[in-house]
Structure 1
Amino acid sequence: MADQHVVSIVRRPGRTLSAEDGLGALLAAYHLRTEAEKGAPVADVDALPDRYRAEISDPRTAFAADVVLVARSGSAAVGCLVVTAPVDGRSEIKRLWTDPEFRGRGVASGLLGDALAHAAESGAGAVRLSVWKWRTGAIALYGRFGFAVTESWDERDQLVCMERAL
């Protein structure tokens, strides 16, 4: 596999998005790891909550109003990120995930940079996100991109909410 990573937008008007393009596998890995980190590991995708299984099996429907970015190494999907359309002047970043074999190579930074550019082009004045407090590497990455911890909009325990202006 090539050591070069090209970040490409998988979902744009006129293009389809499917689990078969590698996105489903990335989302499955993200959700399975998250459940394990929360102390509630599940054996496989079938044991995940319905809303997560829906993202994995039909991302086109789950993210119909969003833009999904996928990082590729050659033809393999190695990272993903979802950026929502602006609501009240703010977009949200969700589901940032890099295949563990490709971490430390700028994949997440590339996805995040493209997401911020897309949000700005879409008219958002700010971008927000939430991240589990134990994901210290992700929190540090967001900090390097200018995100700051803000008051929580989510009641889940151990969730860190962050935001940055565009």
Structure 2
Amino acid sequence: MNIALERPDQPDVIQLIADLDAYQKPLYPPESHYGIGLAALSAAHVLFAVARDEAGTAIGCGALVMNSGYGELKRMYVRPQNRGQGVAAKVLGLLEAEAAARGCAVFRLETGVHQPEALAFYARAGYARRERFGDYPDDPLSVFMQKKKAS
């Protein structure tokens, strides 16, 4: 497996993001979807990582938006057939390391209450629940988490 920062506007990566949307869409009403689009993922202040298998096929991705004072994880996804292989942990590790190298010491995220696997994954990775942040509305379907970079 190879994980690297890449552009999100590649056909196989666009398909990964579409697969993520297809997974999340039935879980939450439209007003509780907070994903960001392809144009936002391509912005200069966004780190976007792609995991590829030995054949070069995109199997996972994730983004970290560099905000003032913290980085926010967005669009973390691994194809179902590739889960349980450490892909998400490696994507997350690369994003956190790249952000830390750019001076980011606090990582935050929003995920949904109907994604227990994601909640457990982030907890294992050192994220703890916190209050709402940024421009997010008060949504009972959202869970907010944060991790501070180890010193």
Q: Same fold (TM over 0.5)?
A: yes
Instruction: Tell me if 1:9 matches 2:5.
Output: yes
Gaps of 5+ in 2: none
Structural mapping, 1:1-166, within 5 Å: 5-11=1-7, 17-20=8-11, 22-38=12-28, 55=37, 59=38, 61-63=39-41, 64-65=43-44, 66-73=46-53, 74-87=55-68, 89-153=69-133, 154=136, 155-166=138-149
Q: Output one character per residue of 1:65-109: Cα deviation in whole Å (capped at 9) or x when no partner.
A: 31110000121000010111241x200000100011101111101
Aligned length: 141
2: CA distance between counterparts of 1:94 and 1:156?
A: 17
Q: TM-score, normalised by structure 1?
A: 0.78
- Report if aligned partners of 1:85, 1:122 keep a CA contact under 8 Å in 2: no
1: CA distance between counterparts of 2:124 and 2:40?
A: 29
Residue number in structure 2 paired with 1:45: none
- Report deviation, 1:62: 2.3
The CA RMSD over aligned residues, in Å, is: 2.0
- Report deviation, 1:127: 0.4
2: CA distance between counterparts of 1:108 and 1:163?
A: 17
1: CA distance between counterparts of 2:85 and 2:139?
A: 31
